[in-house]
Amino acid sequence: MASTFSRKLLTIGVPVLTLVFGWHLGRQYEYRAAASPQLVVASGSGKILQDPPHEANLSGMWAAWKLLSDNYIDPSALDSNKLTMGAAQGLVRAVGDPYTVLMPPKENKSFHESMEGALDGIGAELVMRDDLVVVVAPLKGSPAEKAGLLPEDIIFKVNGEQITSLTLDEVITRIRGKKGTPVTLTVYHKNDTSPHELTIMREHITVPSVETKTIDTKRGPLGYLALRQFGDNSMTEVHAALADFQKNPKIKGLILDLRFNGGGYLDGAQELTSQFVANGAVVKVVSRNKAAEILSVTGNTTYPTLPLTVLINEGSASASEIVAGALQDYGRAKIIGMKSFGKGSVQDVIELGDGSSLRVTIAHWFTPNGHSIAKLGITPDITVQRTAEDYKANKDPQLDAAVAWLAEGKDVSKEKKTGTAALLR
């Protein structure tokens, strides 16, 4: 019987390198399932699922298996373990949910390494969008950034091989590799009609979840905290950063940067929201056969009234959308940037006995006011775009807008919002 250790998760994609904007949940949400399907079994057992529901007819699959065994020109290529894993992956893929995935042992190992914040690769996060593999962003100073990979690039080939028929996990497996080895990506930059070939040397990269700094303004210093993921140690780093800001009584406001944060532990989203909201719900989780679950703030608030802005963009997803959505619903923060990714589902991660794992969608979530962001995303209060040209020129108009709002009460977006900005006192 497979191990049934299970974790819920909230994320959009797997980092190609080490960044990680992964998926997971916190300890209070970890549990052992009472019964879990054993998706990987010994070849020839005649079953892929224990007690398949509705007496599923598996005769077609086993007929194909036998025909391959009897007729394929190279019998040595018919590895029963690979065939069984392929059948199980096909079963899961047939559900049609991009977030319900069976990860083989190698991919599962890389996934867990990425959640710890370190592995070998190129340093970029990818997502699958409209059946295309799209770059969310390269990491600062990463091999991907140095080679010219840009946000919104579409990857067409890896080492000359077209990837249009592959899953995101399969593409990532091809891109990752040992430190010091090259990988060539054929990409289309946004609005370009000609492909570009980028050869990138893989490196070992360790990336902290949190980046902080202090921004001086005429009205006083602002704290800046960028959270790249809700991973294993992310909230420990967040608490340390907030404690450092508290040592400076002159801090006039805080910028929480959730751009390119693709998600992570659900309780991390709950805990982060709790730093800025003293009372109320954080998120409503609606499961298949359970009553709706309301996750509320913890009561351990660090900054209940400090002026706050939150930066989001197309790479902000799931757990980061929960935080942005809750802070927006409560009017606690001004949300600035671009509409977020729009992932409104929760996954369990079930570890199987052979080293593989099954990620399966088990719930949908809603903001405190009952809004679903699935495919819709969080719409910012102030819309500000950051173009590829801005990235190349190292300009950040979204951050500039957040600074302007906190320091001057100004909406510097092209589309002015109604209402009067409240100046800091």
* 318 tagged catalytic: yes
> Which runs of consecutive H residues, i.e. helices, occur in 118-233?
143-147, 168-175
* 343 tagged catalytic: yes
Is there a single domain that holds both residue 270 and residue 164?
no
Q: What is the CATH number of the domain that holds 198?
A: 2.30.42.10
Residue with tokens 């700094």: 213
110 belongs to a structural domain: no
Is there a single domain that holds both residue 221 and residue 198?
no
Is 43 in contact with 51 (CB distance < 8 Å)? no
Q: What is the CATH number of the domain that holds 252?
A: 3.90.226.10
pLDDT score of 151: 81
> Which runs of consecutive H residues, i.e. helices, occur in 77-167?
80-93, 105-115, 143-147
The residue from 171, 206, 241 where one domain ends is 206
Is there a single domain that holds both residue 282 and residue 390?
yes
Is there a single domain that holds both residue 31 and residue 125?
no
17 belongs to a structural domain: no
What are 350's two structure tokens?
């079930």
Q: What does the angle CA 234 – CA 239 – CA 242 come to, to the nearest 5 degrees?
A: 125
| Strand, helix or coil for residue 380 | coil
Q: For the chain, how many structural domains are there in total?
A: 2
The residue from 206, 222, 256 where one domain ends is 206
Is there a single domain that holds both residue 199 and residue 212?
no
Is 318 in contact with 265 (CB distance < 8 Å)? no
Is there a single domain that holds both residue 271 and residue 135?
no
Question: If you compute the radius of gyration of the chain from its CA atoms, what whole number of angstroms results?
Answer: 23
280 belongs to a structural domain: yes
Is there a single domain that holds both residue 425 and residue 310?
yes
What pTM, to 2 d.p., does this model score?
A: 0.73
The residue from 183, 206, 229 where one domain ends is 206
Is there a single domain that holds both residue 262 and residue 403?
yes
Is there a single domain that holds both residue 146 and residue 169?
yes
Is there a single domain that holds both residue 279 and residue 188?
no
pLDDT score of 424: 31
Q: Which residues pair with 49 in a beta bridge?
A: none
Catalytic residue, from 114, 234, 343, 381: name it.
Answer: 343
pLDDT score of 264: 81
What are 304's two structure tokens?
């209940």
Contacts of 118 (CB under 8 A, 6+ apart): 18, 204, 205, 206, 207
pLDDT score of 125: 79
What are 424's two structure tokens?
């800091």
pLDDT score of 154: 94
Catalytic residue, from 36, 142, 274, 318: name it.
Answer: 318
Is there a single domain that holds both residue 215 and residue 195?
no
111 belongs to a structural domain: no
109 belongs to a structural domain: no
Catalytic residue, from 329, 390, 396, 400: name it.
Answer: 329
Full pLDDT tens readout for the chain, 425 residues: 333 333 455 655 443 432 222 222 222 222 222 222 222 222 233 333 445 555 678 889 899 999 999 999 999 999 998 999 999 999 999 999 888 999 888 888 877 766 665 678 898 878 788 889 988 778 777 899 899 998 889 999 999 999 988 888 789 889 988 999 999 999 999 888 899 999 999 998 776 789 999 999 999 999 999 998 888 789 999 999 999 999 999 999 999 999 988 888 888 999 999 999 999 999 999 998 888 899 999 998 999 999 999 999 988 988 999 999 999 999 999 999 999 989 898 888 899 988 999 989 999 999 999 999 888 999 999 999 998 788 778 899 999 999 999 998 766 554 333 322 222 32
Domain housing 270:
1-12+22-53+60-103+208-425
Is there a single domain that holds both residue 79 and residue 172?
no
